[in-house]
Amino acid sequence: MKRAFLILLGCWILANPESLLAQPSSRSLTQDAMTECHDGRVDRDRASRIGHFEKGQVLGEQAVALDDRSADAHFALFCNLGELSRIDGELSITSVAGFRRITKELDRTLELAPDHLDALSAKGTFLLRLPSLLGGNREKGERLLQYVLLKSPQSVNARLSLAKSYCADG
């Protein structure tokens, strides 16, 4: 009886080798990366915030490595990279140095999922905040944010960014 069990167990292991490796999926890594990004945003301690964003970056990179065609994985990586670059303010040296990588992840997200509302909101906000020399375009940014609000009226970030843009007009 014991021998039959061991034979069945061996057959099952041969048929399901991934169960022994227990690698997390791109989806679970993406969810964990987004959780880290969220937790870093609400944390008040600078060191803790950095820890959340760095962990989220690693998780996002792993998710992208497992599935480069996952828009959500690229967005999770963008989220953590972006927040990490803003840790000391919008215009720190580290934020300028990482700008290309951040925009690459955002653009890849939109390439894979053109209607990714969180990415569209982030892109619209980028276009509003960036000087034209770095690709900023206020009209296009406002249009993207209006589209996001049309599709998702409860989108707080899009609403706030658009309101700030309108207030800047006077």
- Express each pLDDT in 83-117 by its tens digit: 999 887 765 555 566 889 999 999 999 999 999 99
Q: What is the DSSP string of 33-54?
A: HHHHHHHHHH---HHHHHHHHH
Give φ, ψ of 129 to 5 degrees: -85, -30
Mean pLDDT calculated for residue range 110-130? 97
What is the reported pLDDT for 134?
Answer: 84
User: Does residue 4 have a pLDDT over 60?
Assistant: no
- Amino acid identity, residue 89? G
Q: What is the mean pLDDT of the chain?
A: 89
Question: Would you call 146 helix, strand, or coil by DSSP?
Answer: helix
Q: Name the band, by pLDDT with cuts 50, 70 and 90, for residue 153.
A: very high
Cβ-based neighbour number of residue 62 at 10 Å: 18
Would you say the pTM of this structure is higher than 0.85? no
Tell me if 138 sits within 8 A of 103, measured CB to CB. Answer: no
Phi-psi region of 135 (alpha: psi -120 to 50; beta: other; left: phi over 0): left
Mean pLDDT of all residues in 136-145 = 97
Residue type, 127: L
